[in-house]
Amino acid sequence: MTESNPSLFPCGRVATPLSRRDWLRRAGSGAGMVAMASLLAQEKLLGSVQEERTSLEPIRPQFPAKARAVIWLFMEGAPSGVDMFDPKPELTKRDGQKTDIKAFFGNPGPLMKSPFAFKRYGDCGQWVCDQYTHVAQHVDKMAFIKSCHSESNDHVPAIYQINSGLPRPGFPTAGAWVNYGLGSENQNLPGYVVLGNTKGAKGGPHNWGSGFLPSTYAGTLFRSQGAPILNLTRRPEITARDQRAQLDLMARLNDEHMKRHPGDVEFANRMQSFELAYRMQTEATDVVDLSKESEATHRLYGIDQPRSRSYGTKCLMARRLIENGVRFVQVYSDGEWDAHDNLESNHTHHCQATDVPVAGLLTDLEQRGLLGDTLVIWGGEFGRMPISQNGAGRDHNPNGFLQWMAGAGIKGGTSYGQTDEIGYKAVENPVSVNDLHATLLHLLGINHERLTYFHNGRSYRLTDVAGEVIHDILS
């Protein structure tokens, strides 16, 4: 190693030659520093580090936050933006015209106009279809992001991406990152709750998983009827005193184990899960007991109507959860907005199921003074094609779709970005999933570049190596 290689330095710099002795001395010093860092970490002498956090204790945000909590209204199956909030006159004009756009799943047809009529609402003049007239009353509270795009044309990886930022399983979801970064305001309830699709979400629990984060931060799936979690209540033959004694004995045994294995983070997580389940037995059951709500509130959410009862129940539960300190609630729609065959009947059905509940949630949050610090998000995993499929349906479209946000820190009555004249592709101010997540974290008082976790040799974050806050939609 006595000669330098100028070709390694295109700018013309030449490396200073090292003798073998100098090279071995420097390498040895580096190895020693690595060993010292490992020993200091084992002795807890390096100070607190993010990766060791396993508690749900609340943490102050990195900077003043506009939002305290998030309710994500997830419309699984992908509603069509051009048929709900973003009408395209060119589609009507060119209805039936053939194009070279390819369908992902076969049977592509010509361009297809929307089967719905549209009307302008609010001071902002936002267009809304005739199937979402209750939600339409709130457009001045909303920011419509009309130029979203993602990577996958298939439901499962697309749902993974909208939840975790990446189109494959095994990564922490947005709710898990928020739970990890901010903790829970109520130690008797999970910080992250999921009110799932009654038919089961595509992709399963990965959609609310914690990935490589400690399992403490994963979402907890609640049922919308009966006990929120199966086997939550203790058996009648076991008294509260007996159960507490069992948990105390387990805690002593577990403490002994932790003294012998101080780095066993997953074991610590299991200990916390037992304690949380014990504390939840009373409070979680009370939170989902909607009999305490008035008949007027039930009507507001559409619980009195069969077609909207299920989603209305979940929306009301979401309000009660964030009211009781839960940080992040995701509310899945039932069934799927997956309109391959008959878009009109599919979207009419899902609009009837969600229109009154979503509007009721926004009204209720505002009346209770909760909308000012609660971020509400609405949208699916991608959009739908401007061409027809199977005669009267629309195929998947990740190239351009719509989401809206309302509530904490959102500039109501605004519109950001555009797709092209037929709604096929984002062309003005494209917004990636990373951008959506960066904006969500920003409203919660978190710099998305500073919320990291060291895993497999590098620091990860929800937005990976991308993401920009959409400042134009913020108040």
User: Which residue segment(s) compose the domain that 218 sits in?
Assistant: 64-226+288-473
- Please tell me the distance from the alpha carbon of residue 217 to that of residue 180, in angstroms, as a whole number: 6
- Predicted confidence at residue 269, as pLDDT, reads 62
Does one domain contain both 36 and 151? no
What is the distance between the alpha carbons of residues 51 and 54, in angstroms, rounded to a whole number? 8
Model confidence pLDDT, tens digit, residues 96-149:
999 999 888 888 999 999 999 999 999 999 999 999 999 999 999 999 999 999
29 & 120 share domain: no
Q: Is the pLDDT of residue 475 over 80?
A: yes
- pLDDT grade, residue 287 (50/70/90)? confident
Kindly tell me if the per-residue pLDDT of 33 is higher than 60.
no
Asked if residue 232 belongs to a domain, the reply is no
Do 103 and 32 share a structural domain?
A: no
CA 264/CA 341 separation, integer angstroms: 51
3-state secondary structure of 335: coil
Burial of 323 (C-beta count, 10 Å sphere; 0-12/13-18/19+): middle
Q: Could you tell me if residue 202 is inside a domain?
A: yes
Measured on CA atoms in the order 100, 101, 106, 107, is the torsion positive or negative?
A: negative
One domain for residues 37 and 171: no
What band does 450 get if pLDDT is binned at 50, 70 and 90? Answer: very high
DSSP3 helix / strand / coil % (the chain, rounded to 5): 40, 15, 45
- Same domain, yes or no: 25 and 152: no
CB within 8 Å of 340: residues ≥ 6 apart: 105, 389, 390, 393, 394, 395
Alpha helices in 374-465 (DSSP H): 433-443
Query: What would the two tokens of residue 169 be?
Result: 């399983």
Tell me how far apart the alpha carbons of residues 62 and 442 are, in angstroms, rounded to a whole number.
9
Question: pLDDT grade, residue 272 (50/70/90)?
Answer: low
The residues near 359 (Cβ < 8 Å, ≥ 6 apart) are 134, 135, 137, 138
Q: How far is CA 84 from CA 67, 117, 128, 209, 403, in A?
A: 27, 9, 6, 31, 11
pLDDT at 37: 44
Q: How confident is the model at residue 3 (pLDDT cuts 50, 70, 90)?
A: very low
Reported as a pLDDT band with limits 50, 70 and 90, residue 11 is very low
Contact predicate 207/201, CB 8 Å: yes
More confident residue, 291 or 141: 141
Q: Residue 42: pLDDT band by 50, 70, 90 thresholds? A: very low
Residue 369 within a domain: yes
Residues 6 or more apart whose Cβ sits within 8 Å of residue 198: 224, 310, 334, 335
Rounded Cα–Cα distance for residues 81 and 42 (Å): 53
pLDDT at 245: 74
Average pLDDT of the residues of the chain: 86
Find the mean pLDDT for residues 406-424: 97
Is the confidence at residue 455, as pLDDT, over 50?
yes
- 164 and 213 both lie in a single domain: yes
Q: Is 464 left (phi over 0), alpha (psi -120 to 50) or beta?
A: left
CB atoms within 10 A of CB 29: 10
Specify the higher pLDDT residue, 250 or 162.
162
Q: Give a yes or no: residue 49 inside a domain.
A: no
pLDDT at 259: 73
CB–CB of 104/396 below 8 Å? Answer: yes
Domain count, the chain: 2
| Domain-embedded: residue 253 | no
Cα distance between residue 237 and residue 171, in whole Å: 41
Identify whether residues 218 and 307 lie together within a single domain.
yes
User: Based on the domain organization, do 170 and 32 belong to the same domain?
Assistant: no
Here the tokens at position 473 are: 């939609």
Q: Collapse the DSSP code of 407 into the 3-class scheme (helix H, G, I; strand E, B; otherwise coil) and give the result.
A: strand
Q: What is the CATH number of the domain that holds 429?
A: 3.40.720.10
376 in helix, strand or coil? strand
- Distance (Å, whole) CA 417 – CA 405: 14
| Pairwise CA distance, residues 98 & 262, whole Å | 66
Give residue-wise pLDDT tens across range 354-400.
Answer: 999 999 999 999 999 999 999 999 999 999 999 999 999 999 999 99
Q: Encode burial over 465-474: b for 16+ CB neighbours within 10 A, e otherwise.
A: eebebbeebb
Q: Do residues 443 and 153 touch, judged by C-beta distance below 8 A?
A: no
The reply to whether 448 falls in a domain is: yes
254 occurs within a structural domain: no
In this structure, what token pair is assigned to residue 413? 């009555």
Confidence class for position 38, pLDDT limits 50, 70, 90: very low
Q: What is the pTM of this model?
A: 0.82
Beta strands in 363-425 (DSSP E): 374-379, 383-384, 387-389, 396-397, 401-407, 414-416, 418-419
* pLDDT over 70, % of the chain: 79
List residues bridging with 401 in a β-sheet.
Answer: 148
Q: Which residues pair with 70 in a beta bridge?
A: 328, 375
Looking at the structure, tell me whether residues 295 and 351 fall in a common domain: yes
Which pLDDT band, with edges at 50, 70 and 90, does 67 fall under?
Answer: very high
Q: Are residues 68 and 207 in the same domain?
A: yes
pLDDT value at 258 more than 80:
no
Pair 116, 202 in one domain: yes
- Whether residue 11 sits in one domain with residue 110: no
Q: Alpha-carbon distance 159 to 152, whole Å? A: 9
Residue 50 falls inside a structural domain: no
CB 233 within 8 A of CB 204: no
More confidently predicted of 198 and 151? 151
For residue 255, the SS3 value is helix
Phi, psi of 354, deg, nearest 5 = -120, -20
